[in-house]
Amino acid sequence: MKKLFSIFVLVATVAATTFFTSCSEDNDNTVPDITLGGQANMDIVINSVGNWVEPGFTATDNKDGDITSKVVITGTVDVTKLGTYVITYRVEDEAGNYIVVERTVNVIVNNQTYVASYAVVDVITGPGSGTYNYTVTASISSIDTGKILLANFGGYGNTQIAYFTFTKEGVISIPSQHVTGSPGFEGTLQGTGTTADNGNVLNITYSYTYDDGSGTDNGTATYTKR
């Protein structure tokens, strides 16, 4: 009788152990998925909208289903300042698997950014050495919308028109060009410049070689929107 009781206990123990093992869940090693609304890399023209509006996203998991509400967002976009901004989206499922997705937002300029009247402070070395204050009016070329026309360049009168081109990041290029319109002040111009992150100030460095052979002025000019 004692021997039979021992066999019964052994069988019962084995059966209980087997039951526990068969009920354990499979390991979940699958990471969730995040789908971004809109574009993963997008451009916004500076000051073209009142504020940053999130284009949206969804998150799903093979075990947990819709986990969009669990997404944690890091970062924001200042639409009043030029630059590149990164928004990070992170979500984790119940098993601890996680995914991180990024959206890159570029706050940029376009031709309309530059259309304005500017107060200019121009510091010159050369034949016309000195510091000059004048007003320049910027407009878009009707022939090439990628060119910005500057009337009264150098303070030589509204018929003295130069132009510059730009990248979406606000880097300015003044290609070599022959500027005419104000008798006695014709010359060849070239230079470079940058746009301040608020879009309202241009910092331009240039050289201007006069046709009359009097020499070359080198200018460092600050253009501030009026």
CB-based contact 38:55 (threshold 8 Å): yes
The whole-number mean pLDDT for each consecutive block of 10 residues of the chain, a chain of 226 residues, reads 38 31 60 98 96 97 97 98 98 97 98 98 97 98 97 97 98 98 96 98 98 97 98
Per-residue confidence (pLDDT) for residue 12, from 0 to 100: 34
Per-residue confidence (pLDDT) for residue 25, from 0 to 100: 47
Per-residue confidence (pLDDT) for residue 26, from 0 to 100: 63
Question: What CATH architecture is 30-108?
Answer: Sandwich (2.60)
Q: Which CATH number among 3.40.50.1820, 2.30.42.10, 2.40.128.420, 3.40.50.280 corresponds to the domain 111-225?
A: 2.40.128.420
Q: What are the domain boundaries of the chain?
A: 30-108, 111-225
- Measured CA to CA, the distance from residue 46 to residue 28 in angstroms comes to 45
β-strand 41-45 against 98-108: which pairing, if any? parallel
